[in-house]
């Protein structure tokens, strides 16, 4: 079948929206007609030319989306044609050690070489133009009219949820909210500081609100981001371009925050997040730094302060539990998704969407397919 897709032919070059072919789903796979795809920083770094991993090209980008199942391959049991689904870049096999102990975000297959290098889990692709293969971006490639993915990467959702909002659960919202409620398990009344008020940081702020944290301090260098943060529940804002955020967080909390979240991917900010945590506090790193980057912290803080520096990947999500749960909170008015989508774009305007992302104009831009 022919479809339009946004493909990256070379790192550092603009995306090309073109007509390519997509094959039918194979064993355990589904064909999804996409309604929306989030525009994520994880995509942008490939366009910018600083990819997190080497992938063959051309590659169809897009790491969060939602749509309607069009066809299923043999053996598929969790969805059927007509079902509304969220597409998540977190593939979970359901059987490895990590999946079994309830940490499917660390799944052996999901973190395996095939999905990280442009293939589906069986090591082949379903997209091509003539005889030229087009590669899959972390198993889902949502910047297209259709996607073939494993059923392990799609989660059925209620059909009354707008798909352009549900798409955000595929990456940003799950990552940010999950870092607070799953990874850190922030308790009511604990103090929280979030570094970086982009899509993931705003979602972490929403997680802090859901946890009953106070104060909730948002740190960013851009005034418009701090204004966004207040609308999502930040009780205090710190403009790190004007003041030392570590000192300011100590001033607000008295001793440093109980939990700090780093959502920028900048190693200097990771250090600040660690320093801004109080004694016994936890600094949670969500942001992805560059390949080979190292973070430097005062090693004596470990025994002297019992602080921890911990990682959070994809919000420690258990997809089939957490995505429906968060969408229920959305329906109940407790999780703000409508307000996060500050701009939509047609697929052909994908490069404009990335320009706006680079300039920090949106909380989340979303591509909406016809």
CA distances from 216 to 103, 125, 154 (A): 27, 44, 33
Alpha helices (H) in the chain, listed in sequence order: 41-48, 97-100, 113-116, 163-166, 172-178, 199-211, 223-231, 245-253, 267-276, 301-305, 319-331, 350-358
Q: Which stretch in 22-30, 86-94, 136-144, 303-311 sits in contact with Zn ion by CB under 5 A?
A: 86-94
Find the shortest distance in angstroms from Cβ 217 to Zn ion. 24
The reply to whether 40 sits near Zn ion by the rule CB under 5 A is: yes
Q: How far is the CB of 99 from Zn ion (least distance, A)?
A: 3
Which of these segments, 40-48, 197-205, 280-288, 341-349, binds Zn ion (CB under 5 A)? Answer: 40-48
Nearest to 38 by CA among 173, 189, 154: 173
Check binding of 151 to Zn ion (CB under 5 A). Answer: no
First-last CA distance in the chain: 17
With respect to Zn ion, which residue has the nearer C-beta, 174 or 273?
174
Q: Could you say which residues in the range 42-81 bind Zn ion, by CB under 5 A?
A: 42, 63
For residue 258, the 8-state DSSP code is E
d(CA 286, CA 277): 15
Q: Does 93 bind Zn ion (CB under 5 A)?
A: yes
Which two three-digit tokens encode residue 296? 């430097």
Closest approach, Cβ 64 to Zn ion, in A, equals: 5
Q: Does 362 bind Zn ion (CB under 5 A)?
A: no
Nearer to Zn ion, 107 or 273 (CB): 107
Q: Does 106 bind Zn ion (CB under 5 A)?
A: no
- Say how many residues touch Zn ion, by CB under 5 A: 8
Contact stretch for Zn ion (CB under 5 A) within 72-80, 87-95, 117-125, 319-327: 87-95
**Shortest distance in whole angstroms from residue 104 CB to Zn ion:** 6
Cα–Cα dist 2/264, whole Å = 38
CA 185 to chain centre: 19
Of 90, 171, 216, 229, the one binding Zn ion (CB under 5 A) is: 171
CA–CA dist 40, 340 (Å, integer): 13
**Calpha distance 199→344 (Å, rounded):** 14
Contact flag: residue 105 with Zn ion (CB under 5 A): no
Our finding on whether 115 is near Zn ion (CB under 5 A) is no
- Interface residues with Zn ion (CB under 5 A)? 40, 42, 63, 93, 96, 99, 107, 171
């Amino acid at each position: 079948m022919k479809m339009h897709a946004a493909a990256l032919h070379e790192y550092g070059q603009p995306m090309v929206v073109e007509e390519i072919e997509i094959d039918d789903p194979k064993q355990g796979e589904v064909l999804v007609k996409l309604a929306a795809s989030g525009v994520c920083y994880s995509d942008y770094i490939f366009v910018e030319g600083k990819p997190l991993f080497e992938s063959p090209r051309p590659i169809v980008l897009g790491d969060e989306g939602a749509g309607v199942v069009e066809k299923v391959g043999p053996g598929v049991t969790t969805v059927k044609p007509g079902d509304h689904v969220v597409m998540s870049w977190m593939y979970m096999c359901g059987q490895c050690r990590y999946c079994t102990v309830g940490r499917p975000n660390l799944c052996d297959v999901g973190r395996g070489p095939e999905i990280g290098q442009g293939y589906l889990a069986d090591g082949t692709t379903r997209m091509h133009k003539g005889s030229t293969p087009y590669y899959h971006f972390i198993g889902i490639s949502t910047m297209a009219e259709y996607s073939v993915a494993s059923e392990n990467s799609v989660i059925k959702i209620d059909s009354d949820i707008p798909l352009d909002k549900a798409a955000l659960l595929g990456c940003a919202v799950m990552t940010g909210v999950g870092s607070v409620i799953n990874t850190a398990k922030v308790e009511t009344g604990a103090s929280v500081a979030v570094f970086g008020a982009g899509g993931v940081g705003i979602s972490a702020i929403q997680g802090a609100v859901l946890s009953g944290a106070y104060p909730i301090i948002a740190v960013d260098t851009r005034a418009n981001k701090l204004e966004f943060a207040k609308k999502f529940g930040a009780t205090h804002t710190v403009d790190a371009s004007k003041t030392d955020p570590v000192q300011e967080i100590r001033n607000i909390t008295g001793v440093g925050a109980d939990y700090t979240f780093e959502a920028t991917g900048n190693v200097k900010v990771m250090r600040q997040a660690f320093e801004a945590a109080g004694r016994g506090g936890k600094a949670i790193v969500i942001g992805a730094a560059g390949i080979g980057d190292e973070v430097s912290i005062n090693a004596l803080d470990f025994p002297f302060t019992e602080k921890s520096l911990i990682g959070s990947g994809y919000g420690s999500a258990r997809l089939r539990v957490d995505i429906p749960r968060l969408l229920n909170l959305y329906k109940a008015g407790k999780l703000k998704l409508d307000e996060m989508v500050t701009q939509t774009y047609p697929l052909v305007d994908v490069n404009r969407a990335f320009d706006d992302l680079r300039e920090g104009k949106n909380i989340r831009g979303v591509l909406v397919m016809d």
